[in-house]
Amino acid sequence: MPRPTAAQLAYGSATVIVSTIAMLLLSQTSTGLGVAVISAAALALGLLVALTVPLPRRRGRHAAGRTGPAAAPAGPDATASTAARVPEPRTAAAEHPVHH
């Protein structure tokens, strides 16, 4: 199971605190059972909010490795298209010829 992000923890915690205070003030309950029900509802709401916060998208080489099978080339041309995208290394002598 992946670890929660800072945004998920912040949104979930803020939701639990704000919703608990709001429900306690609106219901004006003073019994232990009422406080327990409101606390459980606030925790469930906070968990729901934390799980629905969108995760950040990965960038760089990690994102390229997570492509689906539809994005990957198939068949005998797969190696040719991969090789066409990678340039050959250059040599210093070919780039800058020295004239005397």
Domain count, the chain: 1
| Residue numbers of the domain that contains 29 | 1-51
And the tokens for 97?
Answer: 């010829």
pLDDT averaged over every residue in the chain: 77
- Does 17 map to a domain? yes
Record the pTM: 0.53
- Summarised one tens digit per residue, pLDDT across range 40-76 is 999 999 999 998 887 777 676 655 555 555 555 555 5
- Does 46 map to a domain? yes
- Summarised one tens digit per residue, pLDDT across range 75-85 is 555 555 555 67
- Does 56 map to a domain? no
Q: In whole angstroms, what is the distance from residue 25 CA to residue 28 CA?
A: 5
- Does 18 map to a domain? yes
- Does 81 map to a domain? no
Higher-confidence position of 83 and 89: 89
- Does 77 map to a domain? no
- Summarised one tens digit per residue, pLDDT across range 14-29 is 999 999 999 999 999 8
Instruction: Look at residue 16 in the predicted model and tell me its pLDDT.
Output: 94
- Does 64 map to a domain? no
- Does 75 map to a domain? no
